[in-house]
Amino acid sequence: MYNIYENPWLLFSISMAVLLVIVMFRKARPEKARFWQLIIPFVLAATAFGVDHFVKTDYEKIELTIKQSVKAVIDGDLDLVAENISPDYSDQRNPSKQRLMEALREITSRAGIEKIKIRQNLIKTAKMTGSSELRIAVFMQPKSDFAPGKSLMFAKLKLHFRKTENKEWQIYTTELISINDDPLL
């Protein structure tokens, strides 16, 4: 179903249809034409863009969490990454948030990450949980420890999110599925 909170174009299209109907009505019955009739479609259009701008859906919040985390990794701001990770984080390689942050510090100090480009992001949400299957391209400095011979690496990850009490989304586990299209077991 189309979500008016994620995209303003449905309400905007409705406002243009209303404008068309009002113009036709005013042309057919000029004696009933009033100035305020022309304001209605413009109010609808403004409402469409206002709702899109001011109302953030769960999908948009998860997307923002991912973008913030990616930018923070590039900038080396791991404190911001830590804010986006749940206190009860665990995965196959890192049993705790603290261990994950230690691993991230080690990797980012040696990798020389210049840019991370999100190639695909498939987000699914439920009431209190969400997931994202993420395909990224990681551009590294040519002389980094992780880029012997090439400075580009592709990764596929699955991130799992949980909604906190203050309606924010945090990562509570990750799965590294593949690197350069080679599956990890």
The pLDDT tens digits of the residues spanning 72-98 come to 999 989 999 999 999 999 998 899 999
**Domain shared by 95 and 136, yes or no:** yes
Residue 40 has pLDDT above 80, yes or no: yes
The values of phi and psi at residue 180, to 5°, are 50, 40
Domains: count for the chain: 2
Is this structure's pTM higher than 0.85? no
pLDDT exceeds cutoff 90 at 132: yes
2 is a domain residue: no
Domain membership of residue 106 (yes or no) is: yes
Its domain, for residue 40, covers 9-54
Taking the C-alpha atoms of residue 110 and residue 27, their distance in angstroms, rounded to an integer, is 70
